[in-house]
Amino acid sequence: MNIIIAVPFKDREQQTISLIKSLISSLEYANLKTTFRYKFFLIDDNSERACVSRIQQEVSSYPYFYVIKNKGQGPGAARNSINNYIEKEDYIVFTDNDCVVDKTWIYTILQYCCKYNPLVLQGNPCLFQKTTILGEWEEKLYHCLFGSYLQGAFTSMIDSRNLIVHRSIFLKYQGGLFSETLNLAAAESRILMKKLEKDKVSVYYSEDIIVYHEDPPSILSSCLQKYRHGYGRVELWGEEPPTSRYLLERYFYIPIEKEGLPPRYIIPTHLSFLYGYYYNSNNLSEFQKIIVMLKNDYPDISIFNVLEV
């Protein structure tokens, strides 16, 4: 089997180097278990020159690592740029530079793809490095949210931090697999999922294909990240989002009441997510209604004074 492993990066030098080291460890483990061909592409998404030089230096001893330039701008365009480098590879494997991969990651991908020949395979996107309590909370939250998409061996949602795509699917879209909009956190994985559903492509799922996402450094950083995700959600929801009742259940009541996650984390982060959406869709009056309902349901929580863990 031949594979390409592709990682977009924009600065974040130390995180990218940590990922590279984990990729090398995973490669060494896989090489002990089986025979396959591989290339690694680190895709510079307009990083600072010093960062790119440091990354090039880090991989200079490994001839199978290539540092290439994103021909466009943004993570979607960076992933799409791999289209120009596909030759005889069977699968293109994506992860993000704020993750590290498990030692078994590459080998497990090879085993799964040899056995099932999936067109699209989603690895486990729910795990965090858990060096802080925020990482533990975020992992539990992601299990809660992503778990609603799982249907046995398949999933109805994807996450590009741990995504495997057969070359036939990648080439089908002629280098336009991922959305290239520069909208904040433009939900390019979810937009891709809509394409796959339209074309009736099943997405396999394996919880044993493991990467670990970086923990949020603070609640404030989580709020900012989720604001960006909500801002980009306009591309998925348009001007007709789910009902307020559904949003309250999914983003507040289930994580807090069912999963036991602390309100002082869930309320500010998910309010930030919804504020991003409603701000970008010019509908802040609906956002105000959600705040009123939350204040009624959680009167003892000061939702704007929770940025300290």
Judge whether residue 306 has pLDDT over 70. no
Above pLDDT 90, what percent of the chain?
Answer: 75
Q: CATH top-level class for 2-213?
A: alpha beta
pLDDT band with cut points at 50, 70 and 90 for residue 308? very low
The chain-wide mean pLDDT, for the chain, equals 92
CB–CB of 120/201 below 8 Å?
Answer: yes
**Tokens read off for 185:** 């956190």
For residue 303, the model assigns a pLDDT of 58
Q: Output 147 or 170, whichever has higher pLDDT.
A: 147
CB–CB of 93/3 below 8 Å?
Answer: yes
Locus of tokens 């699209």: 120
Judge whether residue 304 has pLDDT over 60. no
pLDDT tens digits for 60-99? 999 999 999 998 888 889 999 999 899 989 999 999 999 9
Which residues make up the CATH 3.90.550.10 domain(s) of the chain?
2-213
pTM as predicted: 0.92
pLDDT tens digits for 43-52? 999 999 999 9
Q: Which of 267, 281, 199 is nearest to 237 (CA)?
A: 281
